[in-house]
Amino acid sequence: ELVPKGGGIEFKNVTFKYNPEKTILNNVSFTVPPGKTVALVGPSGSGKSTIIKLLFRFYDIESGFISIDGYDIKKDVTQRSLREIIGVVPQDTVLFNQTIKYNIQYGRITANDSEIIEAARGADIHDRIMSFSQQYDTLVGERGLRLSGGEKQRVAIARTLLKAPTIILLDEATSALDTHTERNIQDSLNHMCVNRTTIVVAHRLSTIINADEILVLKDGEIVEQGRHQDL
Residue 227 to residue 208: CA distance in whole angstroms: 9
**Number of Cβ atoms within 10 Å of the Cβ of 196:** 19
Q: Using the minimum distance from each CB to ligand ATP, give the nearer residue, 8 or 47.
A: 47
Residue 58 interacting entry, from Mg ion, ligand ATP, none, C-beta within 5 to 8 Å by type: none
Please give the residues from 14 up to 73 whose contact with ligand ATP meets the rule CB under 6 A.
18, 24, 42, 44-50
Q: Does 53 bind Mg ion (CB under 5 A)?
A: no
- What sign results for the dihedral spanned by CA atoms 25, 33, 189, 176? negative
Give the number of other CB atoms < 10 A from CB of residue 33: 15
Partners of 22 in beta bridges:
19
Min dist. Cβ of residue 111 to ligand ATP (A) = 31
Neighbouring residues of 221: CB distance < 8 A, sequence distance ≥ 6: 25, 26, 27, 28
CB of 221 to Mg ion, least distance (A): 16
Number of residues that bind ligand ATP (CB under 6 A): 10
Which one, of 230, 169, 213, lies nearest residue 41 by Cα?
213
User: Smaller CB distance to ligand ATP: residue 49 or 138?
Assistant: 49
Distance of closest approach, residue 177 Cβ to ligand ATP, in angstroms: 16
Which residues form the interface with Mg ion (CB under 5 A)?
49
Which residues form the interface with ligand ATP (CB under 6 A)?
18, 24, 42, 44-50
